[in-house]
Amino acid sequence: MKNLNVIWMMAVVFVMSTASVLGQSEAKKNKIIADSKMAKAEFIKADALMKDLFENAHGYVIFPNVGKGGFGIGGAAGNGVVYEKGKIIGMAKLSQLSIGFQAGGQAYREVIFFEAKKDLSRFEESNFEFSAQASAVAATEGASANVKYAEGVMVFTALKGGLMYEASVGGQKFKFNKL
């Protein structure tokens, strides 16, 4: 029974991670863009100081709806919008696989700020991924005040709902598609 759960979860993660942003309909892209604008407003509402980050970063990617779940083996996936100097330049796909003690599911938003052109370019080449050691800051009032770029990136998340217990190891991988 446990082996069947593991195989099922791996199949779900595989399907989520291989779905292409390019294959999305125009209506779905427009929904993701609208959701990213709303997520940006929610990040700024949670921490007004983030407005400066959005205005001063060379670029950023917003994943407005990331779903995460697991039981032993877990995964997460979401689609996002990539901005350079405040203008949309492409769409992105986030996928994550994790192994360890975890149970439950949750939904969250994620924004990644890029300090310079070279950092955004690394993301655009789809060579960008976070290891298990990468950390994100929860977007709460004043959270961005003392956060600094680490290797040209800064990451914030905001929980939307759900409950998940987790002590796992994993990483996020990204795929960029230029518009």
- DSSP per-residue letters across 110-172: EEEEESSHHHHHHHHTT--EE-TT---EE--TTTTTT---BTTEEEEEEEEEEEEEEEEEEEE
Start-end of H helices in 19-82: 26-46, 50-56
Q: Distance (Å, rounded) from C-alpha 110 to C-alpha 68? A: 12
Neighbour tally for 141: CB within 10 Å: 11
What pTM value is reported for the model?
A: 0.79
- Tell me the backbone φ, ψ of residue 106, rounded to 5 degrees: -155, 165
Give the per-residue pLDDT at 157. 87
Give the per-residue pLDDT at 22. 46
* pLDDT tens by residue, 17-66: 444 444 558 899 999 999 999 999 999 999 999 999 999 999 999 999 99
Residues of the chain with pLDDT under 70: 1-24, 131-136, 142, 162-170
Is residue 81 within 8 A of residue 178, CB to CB? The reply is: no
Give the per-residue pLDDT at 169. 58
Is residue 145 within 8 A of residue 49, CB to CB? The reply is: yes
Based on its alpha-carbon atoms, the radius of gyration of the chain, rounded to whole angstroms, reads 16
Is residue 163 within 8 A of residue 69, CB to CB? The reply is: no
Burial class (CB in 10 A: 0-12, 13-18, 19+), 26: exposed
